[in-house]
Amino acid sequence: MDKSALKISNLDVHYKDFQALWDVSLEVAKGRVISVIGANGAGKSTLLNTVSGVLTPSEGTIEFFGEAIGGLPPHDTVHKGIALVPEGRRIFPRLTVFENLVMGSYTPRTRPKRDETIKKIYELFPILKSRHNQMANSLSGGEQQMLAIGRAMMSEPTLMLCDEISLGLAPVIIKSIYKRLAQINQDGITIVLVEQDLKRSLKAADYAYVMLEGKIVLEGVPSTLTEEQVKKAYFGI
């Protein structure tokens, strides 16, 4: 495997008395797209929220390019080059498209390149440029998802964590967003995709992990995983 952008070893995470992740270990090679799939409640979002610093590990380690980052707060993980595209988009509804993007470049490292980065995002998502001064809550669901991805890109990440980006969107919009993600990856950004959508997620990934009830139950190069194996792991049968 190429140099690791992210390495997670023996990770446990609790919500008070409830254990959400059990001894999770995975590795994300630099420049690759990794898919983490599983049914609702499998622990996928918990995993991303722990990497990004929203949650704190109970046990185990998280390394980002060899540096221990487990337990760092979100503003520190963003500063180091990790961006989260959260489930449900969580854009700022009463701010314009432009203002939402500006909110993504709050770190001292990214502020000087703000206008240049916005230009790149508008080239990637032309619809956002045409909505430049429009309130975010007036955008369609697909446009809001593009804005959430664009806002994450404003922090100039080397690792982007995408949580259920296709949820609730029409197939044609999902296809368009995945095409843009491939372009983002080609520009050198490592991507972790968390999805319930088996086929689309596996097709986009270089390597995949399947989660069930807070544990990794299957992993491998997508082309080597049979549909039967994945479904058995996904549903726990």
* pLDDT tens string 52-100: 999 999 999 999 999 999 999 999 999 999 999 988 888 999 999 999 9
* pLDDT tens string 171-214: 999 999 999 999 999 999 999 999 877 888 899 999 999 999 99
SS3 152: helix
Number of other CB atoms surrounding residue 213 within 10 Å:
15
**Average pLDDT value for the chain:** 93
| pLDDT at residue 1 tops 50 | no
SS3 205: coil
Contacts (Cβ under 8 Å, ≥6 apart) of 180? 124, 125, 146, 149
* pLDDT tens string 24-58: 999 999 999 999 999 888 999 999 999 999 999 99
- The 8-class DSSP code of residue 113 comes to G
Q: Looking at the domain covering 4-235, what would its CATH class be?
A: alpha beta
Predicted local distance difference test score (pLDDT) of residue 232: 87
From first CA to last CA, the distance across the chain in angstroms is 30
| pLDDT at residue 231 tops 90 | no
Nearest Cα neighbor of 8 from 44, 55, 46, 61 is 61
Sheet of 159-163: strand order equals 82-85, 159-163, 190-195, 33-37, 207-212, 215-220
| Residue 184 CA: distances (Å) to CA of 9, 120, 189 | 27, 11, 6
Predicted local distance difference test score (pLDDT) of residue 120: 95
Q: What are the structural domain ranges in the chain?
A: 4-235
